[in-house]
Chains A and B, each alone.
Chain A
Amino acid sequence: QMGGQNLRKEHLYKVLVIGDLGVGKTSIIRRYVHQTFSSNYRATIGVDFALKVLNWDSETVRLQLWDIAGQERFGNMTRVYYREAMGAFIVFDVTRPTTFEAVIKWKEDLDSKVMLANGQRIATVLLANKCDQGRELSNNGIKMDQFCKDHGFVGWFETSAKDNLNISDAANFLVKHIMATENDILKSVVPDTISPQMDSSRQMSCSGCFK
């Protein structure tokens, strides 16, 4: 009866992966879930799915990753795709500045279409992908921190799906934030308790990118 395995608490989190066309959303997911990389995946039409199971302390976390087509017009379909998401990655390509400019648009679209039960924005992490192809952002670290703060990201990471850089760190970071917000919601449901107001989205994070 005490054999804890069966009693393991399970969490299921829906996580969106969004960003402009060709920034490497599918590659990041493949690297994270299947530990592989290829330079020519088939284009994502509509939405694709992947599942990553994590052992988290004594609990199990199932990350349901929604890989959403990057072309802008698919945004008209995303209301269905975004529903009940708990967290998100917004990805841009460090070698293409326009994909970074589009990040704000993606974030606004996300916040306008989905929110948590307590009305808060869902935890979102910014990924600067293809960092193996140059353009060090680390020098701009302070600027990036400020950018995240201004636009409501919980943090940012430089990633490379090709070199397997920082992807699982970013995922763990996001899971941590999702769990924190989940606890907040659970607390807020219990009446007669006062929970200290600590807005986790404002707690600036060291993104773990400063090497």
Chain B
Amino acid sequence: MEKENQRLEASRDELHIRKTKLDYQEVCTCSKEAQALWERKLTAPGRTTNPQDKEDIYRAVCQGVPKSRRGEVWLLLSHQHRLQHRLPQRQQAPDTPYYDLLKQLTAQQHAILVDLGRTFPTHQYFSAQLGAGQLSLYNLLKAYSLMDTEVGYCQGISFVAGVLLLHMREEQAFDLLKFLMYDLGIRRQYRPDMVSLQIQMYQLSRLLHDYHRELYNHLEEYEIGPSLYAAPWFLTLFASQFPLGFVSCIFDLVFVQGTEVIFKVALCLLSSHEREIVECDSFESIVDYLKTTLPTLTQTQMEQTITKVMEMDISKQLHAYEVEYHVLQDEMLDAGPPPDDSERLDKLEKTNVQLKKQNMDLLEKLQAARQKIQTLETSVENFLSRESKLKHMIRSLEQERATYQRTIERMRFSLPPDALTDVEMTQIKTGPNGKAKTSAKKP
């Protein structure tokens, strides 16, 4: 009896914690059918060993993920991804067991401790100093810093880890953190040189330049590059500033599509607020808008953003811009170390002007090339349709010919034998023509 009571109490406590953790408003509430669909997927035998159709999974995610099953869904998505994309051995996360890591001491202790109170400081689960939430977060960050010695701890990771912890147990969260960092590759942006983050900032800036020129020019006029406002978007997957329901939807998509999703969300957010941003006419008002006003999205705005993100595809552009970044970087290094400071400044300024010009030139070339590709693609389509028309014609001609031949056969059959020799004589005369026809028939 007492045991029973204890068990009941424990499960009530657990439920209470779960409720605290999941205390956020869902953005894309999913239908009954979608819930049933996930129910089937989450209980299907072999769900962690048999790969499922990728398109099918993506469609399911697009229909929405129920909050109460979100943690399990993310785990399923990670299993499915791993079944289809096995990382090469040297890129895989070390497989030291979680509890072994917890026994060790980390050199990042201080940074982690300082950030505990600064990660979701207003969320009930994390706000209590050294409460259950902060302790789990501490364990998770400490274990990660010990396992990934190159990255260690970087500000931003605590928010990603925090979102995971709200949806699952600590060890599961550790496994998914490893998944995000290694399998999906987000650990690159946290590396001490931050090169990868800078590349991402460049890519976002180029996307704006290509797709939202007016906004790009406006931000450029006040010298506001993505590194002034988008660093937390990338480093926390939007979790440090945006409502949790929205962030969770972004995580759903990241688990199937990877980091590209961050760019898409960033681009959608900026473009849907283009008018308001362009109306701001000072440095302060723009950065204040981007950092304070923009993240307070309405429910409808969040839903629209997520829907738009699902329809986008920018993988080609992202790749092209990354290559471009490296080319520009190499050219700058080739210039060699300049001798003195004022000269260095002059030189840098000149390089900057040159690079900007070069950038624009490259962009124009890129656009010209794109246009050309499009024309070529159209003409390929034309050729293809002409080809199929011709094929069709050949077929009907062949049929016609066969009918004629059959008629001739029939006619020949009904002719008297002496008339037949006459016909053969005429056939010899027209011989070359007949031959030409037979050879044309071959292909």
Q: Which of A48, A49, A81, A119 has its CB near the most chain B CB atoms (within 10 A)? A: A49
**Please, how many angstroms separate the alpha-carbon atoms of A44 and B284 in the complex?**
17
**Please, how many angstroms separate the alpha-carbon atoms of A22 and B192 in the complex?**
19
**Interchain nearest-CB distance for A29 vs B (Å):** 13
**Please, how many angstroms separate the alpha-carbon atoms of A48 and B117 in the complex?**
18
**Please, how many angstroms separate the alpha-carbon atoms of A80 and B194 in the complex?**
13
B155 and A45 within 8 A (CB): yes
B156 and A45 within 8 A (CB): yes
Chain B stretch 197-211: residues in CB contact (< 8 A) with chain A? 197-198
Query: Is B324 an interface position by the 8 A CB rule?
Result: no
Q: A69-B155, A73-B154, A74-B194 are in contact. Are A43 and B287 (CB under 8 A)?
A: no
Chain A stretch 21-78: residues in CB contact (< 8 A) with chain B? 21-22, 39-49, 51, 64, 69, 71-74, 76-77
**Please, how many angstroms separate the alpha-carbon atoms of A49 and B289 in the complex?**
11
Q: A47-B231, A49-B287 are in contact. Are A77 and B115 (CB under 8 A)?
A: no
**Please, how many angstroms separate the alpha-carbon atoms of A81 and B341 in the complex?**
19
A76 and B232 within 8 A (CB): no
Contact of B111 among A21, A76, A77, A119 (CB under 8 A): A21
Q: A21-B111, A49-B287, A80-B227 are in contact. Are A43 and B197 (CB under 8 A)?
A: no
Residues of A within 8 A of B155 (CB): 21, 43-45, 69, 71, 74
Query: Is B235 an interface position by the 8 A CB rule?
Result: yes
A77 and B240 within 8 A (CB): no
Residues of B within 8 A of A76 (CB): 192-195, 198
Residues of B within 8 A of A46 (CB): 227-229, 231-232, 235
A42 and B197 within 8 A (CB): no
**Please, how many angstroms separate the alpha-carbon atoms of A21 and B194 in the complex?**
17
Per-residue 0/1 for B228-248: is the Cβ within 8 Å of any A Cβ (1 yes, 0 no)?
A: 110110011000100000000
Chain B residue with the shortest CB-CB distance to A41: B118
B232 and A77 within 8 A (CB): no
A73 and B158 within 8 A (CB): no
Contact of A48 among B111, B195, B198, B291 (CB under 8 A): B291
Contact of A43 among B115, B193, B283, B284 (CB under 8 A): B115
A64 and B283 within 8 A (CB): yes
Residues of A within 8 A of B198 (CB): 76-77
Query: Is B431 an interface position by the 8 A CB rule?
Result: no
4 tightest CB-CB pairs across the interface, nearest first? A46-B231, A22-B114, A45-B232, A43-B118
Where the two chains meet, the residues of A that have a C-beta atom closer than 8 Å to any C-beta of B are 21-22, 39-49, 51, 64, 69, 71-74, 76-77, 80-81, 115, 119
Could you list 21 A-B pairs, sorted by A, with CB under 8 Å?
A21-B111, A22-B111, A42-B119, A43-B114, A43-B115, A45-B156, A45-B235, A46-B232, A46-B235, A47-B231, A64-B283, A64-B284, A69-B155, A72-B192, A73-B154, A73-B193, A76-B195, A77-B197, A77-B227, A80-B228, A119-B341
